[in-house]
Structure 1
Amino acid sequence: MPARRKVLASLAAAAVAATAAVLATVSPAQAAVPTATIPITIKNNSGRAETVYLYNLGTDLASGRQGWADRNGTFRPWPAGGAVPVPAPDASFVGPANGQTLTFRLPKFSGRLYFSFGQKLNFRLATGGLVQPDFANPTDPNINILFDWSEYTLNNDGLWLNSSQVDQFAVPHAVGVKLPNGTTKSTGRLKPGGRNTFFRILREQPGGWGNLIQTRSDGTVLRAVAPGKGIAAGKLSPTILDSYITKAWNAYTGRDLVVTPFANQPGLRYYGRTSGSVMTFRNSSGQVVTSFQKPSSDAVFGCYKELDAPNDLVRGPISRTLCAALNRSTLHSNPNQPDATNANFYKDVVTNHYSRKVHGQMVDGKAYGFAFDDVGAHESLVHDGSPQHAYVTLDPFN
């Protein structure tokens, strides 16, 4: 796909894969099958006067078709796209004004809840499905719109809802879910002044990290794009992590890297050794199970290419663990992965400073700073097997 555009089908598949480890830990006692739809309330505490437009876009889990859902939670499939992407039907509805709330319904779905300020988003349909906004393309029709999204999956096993910074840091927002006992779990809230602080300290980070920030001609700071998007746009060096990757890769020429990919299976381990540029993993019987070429900086930021992570039980979990350790710069120092404590994260001078700074501005320290930030449960995710109500709060822009 040109300009690294993604269709929503691949996004939904990644979202489901990212929650697989959580799904595996859900006990039958938790599982009361959710109804066909559940309510979600959007609260606008942004302090901004612009109209907010909402979208619920994704994959209907019953049919596997892509489309959108209206305010009642009714699924509507997309029409066919074109080789040259064609305009998608207007799936938006007006959200709450500043200080107000709006409640609508979530269907059993896997996708994104978009919210844009002051302007509707321009979505198009290709032959493969919905074309996502492309932050690396300066001519993308959405590049000058202030917008963001939360990601969710609602299925028979419950609700998974997260605030995501995997692609950009833009609109401060928190997510929550009400449990059957009446309590609410929430995450994703920035510290007071966290948005402005994040942009300031990202600009101050040596190495061109401030180039990730995109500002509109009227002075509005729209977003900081994730490092992989910055590399694609020519705003960040494509070798920015290379020295750390090489150091970490070479640390296992004479000793084993021990990967324990599942927290609930501590006896299942894989052992990695490097020879040249290849790290090969064996199981406890000494059989080769998979191998990885030394990844590029872009592959580490995106957790793809050399670090491809299929939705299987061997290569995918090992790749996820490697990706997390390289982004957090723990692979060189700790031969037992994943690292058990976030106190060791981002200590090397060469690291994913974007993710480091996002986590640093969160009240609870949790964020989705890269695709597999859920390794070790450090992501901004709420889950319940019998959700009663979901919440997204658009927080102040300060």
Structure 2
Amino acid sequence: MPLLKTFAAVAIATFVGHSLAVPVVPHPSVANDLVLTPENTLSETNPYRNGPHRNGHKIPASSNSAEELSVSVYNNLQSDSMNAYVTGLDPNGILVCLTPGGSWFAPKANGSISGIIPQIITEDIAIPMGDYGTNTSFTIPSYVQSARIWFADGHLKFYTGLNATGYLTLVEPSPSNQHDPSANVNWGFVELTTNSDGLTVNLSYVDFVGLPLGIKVQGSNGTQTALGVPADAVSSICSALSAQASSDGQPWDKLCISDSSGNALRVIAPYDYIQQNPGAFASYWTRYISQVWAKYSTTPLTIDTQAAAGLVNCTTLGNSTLTCDGDNRPYERPSAGDIFGCNTGPFAIEETDNDVHRAVVPRLCAAFDRSTFLLRGGNVQPSLDSSHYYTTSPTDYYSKIVHEQEVDGRGYAFAYDDVNPPDDDGSNASGLLNDPDPSLLSITIGGPTS
């Protein structure tokens, strides 16, 4: 699953919702209108809350060169106003931002208390990128976890505050809040973690598609790539979603955000749209869920956990729950939001859940998202290859269309895009790259070069 789903993130204020219209045009505002969710907040994990880092200061780079990561960025976007930002948690669990000088900066709380309006980071953390057709290099000076390298055609605004337990929290730009202070900026990010096990990096479209990015890792495993989407991906996705909305009457077209000139700026995921419009897609999956429940009341559904539990048989009980052998609790019927998000309702994983439950959840949600339960062979999950995904309606057309736009078909389009059958041919739809000894992370802005 994408790194963003593992972030130690805690919301620090009440969600502020804004209904969307067609066309959806951002109206940037101030910190009062920030939308704070687990997807755009990152909290420190260091319990030492009153140390000097609270005052905001530079953190020396590690003296161990093995902890450094070299990054090279190629600007394939015809813009001379590109900036990069690097945020994450250092090895001590302290929030850090990379400065243009190459050192970590630990933001301060600015006197905030829990629930109070977050305060903007005023330190210069924008790393200027070269003009169109040029490369820019910088170094991430030490191990970092739950990190993002952000790219923006212009400037992004980041904020800090304290969460309910008193931990310093970074408030990041939100792609779905049209009143976010960075709403008019074309931006995107790459997610990564570096530690003694090496580098893990991925492209994620779980929440939105924005500024096109591609990644390449060179290291002990050779060269690995996830090329991302082409330069015109956002407008192409919006056209396809508009056609789908005309076909089935669902609000796919409202996932598209335009700038003040009417140009497509970004596309948000269905789950994020539902958070602001709770009635959206409400009945979209209802008939399909009933068909799944009916089929597996008489035919066992086998979940291949691809782990110690092996093959687990599941059955539905009437119109209520689905139960699986060895699982610590059953599964209620999901809502549309549950299916699109994979982290609520029956797909929410609790701390007390056993290994069987933790293995079943991603495979169940992936099968719903890709609509493979009722296909021939769908009684074993996962068992069908990607040629069977999104072939019947209802399905997650956002995910389907995003994957169609990906140059090499790689990049998370929903949370469990890394669920694959055990005899998969080696393709990886998630776009996650690993290397135990990376020598260079290369990133392309603005779509792959020809």
Aligned residue number for residue 28 of structure 2: none
Deviation at 1:138, TM superposition (A): 2.7
Q: Which residue pairs with 1:124 in the alignment?
A: 159
Counterpart residue type for residue 254 of structure 1? T
- Which residue, out of 242, 267, 287, partners 1:243? 287
Identity %: 25
In structure 2, the residue matched to 1:39 is 70
Q: How does 1:217-366 map to 2 (within 5 A)?
A: 217-234=260-277, 236-262=280-306, 265=307, 268-275=310-317, 276-283=319-326, 288-306=327-345, 307-310=347-350, 313-333=355-375, 334-366=378-410
Q: Secondary structure at the match of 2:339?
A: helix
**Alpha-carbon separation, structure 1, partners of 2:261 and 2:67:** 43
CA shift, 1:151, in A, is 0.6
Instruction: Give me the CA root mean square deviation.
Output: 2.7
Distance in 2 (alpha carbons) for counterparts of 1:299 and 1:64:
31
Structure 2 distance, partners of 1:378, 1:281, is: 27
Segment of structure 1 superposing worse, 293-302 or 266-275:
266-275
CA distance in 2, matches of 1:54, 1:211: 29
What CA distance in whole angstroms lies between the structure 2 residues aligned with 1:73 and 1:37? 11
Q: TM-score, normalised by structure 2?
A: 0.75
How far does the alpha carbon of each residue in 1:37-62 deviate from its partner, in whole angstroms, 9 at most, with x for none?
A: 11011111122x241121111122x2
1:73-107 CA distances to partner (integer Å, 9 max, x unpaired)? 54332322442211124422212221111111123
Q: 1:178 aligns with which of 213, 218, 223?
A: 218
Q: Residue 202 of structure 1: which of 226, 229, 241 is its match?
A: 241
Supply the distance in 1 between the matched residues of 2:282 and 2:309 (Cα, whole angstroms).
38
Return the letter of the residue paired with 1:66: L
- In the alignment, structure 2 segments of 5+ residues that lack a partner are 1-10, 16-34, 45-63, 164-168, 421-427
Matched residues in 1 for 2:342 and 2:237: separation? 23
Q: 2:199 aligns with which of 159, 162, 166?
A: 159
1:65 corresponds to: 94
Contact kept? 2:228, 2:411, Cα under 8 Å: no
1:6 aligns with 2:37: yes
Computing the radius of gyration from Cα coordinates, the structure with the larger value is 2
Query: 1:102, 1:9 → 2: CA distance?
Result: 27
CA contact (8 A) 1:367 1:378 kept: yes
Quote the Cα distance in structure 2 between the aligned partners of 1:9 and 1:190.
Answer: 22
Residue 200 of structure 1 aligns with an amino acid whose one-letter code is S
Measure the CA separation in 2 of the matches of 1:105 and 1:237.
Answer: 44
Equivalent residue number for residue 189 of structure 2: 149
The two structures have a TM-score, normalised by structure 1, of: 0.84
CA contact (8 A) 1:330 1:339 kept: no
Contact 2:152–2:188, Cα closer than 8 Å, also in 1? yes
